Amino acid sequence: MVKLEKKVLNFTVLIEQDEDGIYVAKVPDIIGCYTQGKTVGQAMERIKEAIQVCLEADGENILPLKFIGVQQLEVIA
């Protein structure tokens, strides 16, 4: 029996609130990995599940980037 070794990966999760008050969670390191919830806690539970699904589908090609910071930038359009 082959024992698969598990590794711990840390992903940055961005949480935003849309115009309807729904929290949207996104993982910038994984293209297309996002979900939503009525609360931040619910969004975080769901994004953890989404990350696990993405890792199962394409885990060998997904590596977290080092988080540096978040800034907002005002642009006049």
37, burial (CB in 10 Å: exposed 0-12, middle 13-18, buried 19+): middle
pLDDT digits (tens, 9 = 90+) for 49-63: 999 999 888 766 787
**Residue 11's CB: how many other CB atoms inside 10 A?**
19
pTM of model > 0.85: no
pLDDT along the chain (77 residues), means of 10: 76 96 95 96 97 84 82 91
**Phi first, then psi: what are they for 60, rounded to 5°?**
-70, -20
| Amino acid type, 23 | Y
Record: fold of 14-61: Double Stranded RNA Binding Domain (3.30.160)
- Strand 14-17 relative to strand 34-37: parallel, antiparallel, unpaired? unpaired
Tokens for 51, please give them. 């990350």
Query: How many angstroms separate the CA atoms of 55 and 50, rounded?
Result: 9
